Amino acid sequence: MEKLNIFATQMKTRWYKNFIEQAKNNLGHKDLSWPVRAMIAFENAGMEGCTFTANEMEDALAPYIGRPEGRHVMNNMAVQAIRRGIMNRTGRKKRVEGVRNPYPEYEIVGHIEIHPDSGAVVPVRMRE
């Protein structure tokens, strides 16, 4: 009988692939706040050029950097991204099931990068 390898079996699961993807895209910036890591992960998550509500952004970023500690952190990220010019308010609102008030939509038009030499945070707009 052929030897069974539990680890080889687990490597084929969706959970393992998500775990490896998260580790690969974790960006290695544990010292940075969640909002800054989220803005870095926009590119890796394929979010540039799309519109999202805050809840949809949180779901899209969760496999890469985890979930924020609270709702205020997500709102803080949106304010910082708008200020840096990598996110725009669309002016539209989207009704989410089970919620009384609709959520505003945001268009992501870029991401930020950490400069390798100086460590400065540099906003990078999407090429149009």
Digitized pLDDT (tens) for each residue of the chain, 128 residues in all:
456 666 677 777 777 766 666 655 555 566 788 888 889 888 888 899 999 998 889 888 888 888 888 888 988 999 999 999 999 999 999 988 888 889 999 999 999 988 777 777 778 887 65
Residue 78 to residue 66: CA distance in whole angstroms: 16
pTM score, whole prediction: 0.72
* pLDDT number for residue 26: 57
Q: So what's the architecture of 13-125 in CATH?
A: Orthogonal Bundle (1.10)
* pLDDT number for residue 1: 47
Q: Which residues are bridge partners to 88 per DSSP?
A: 107
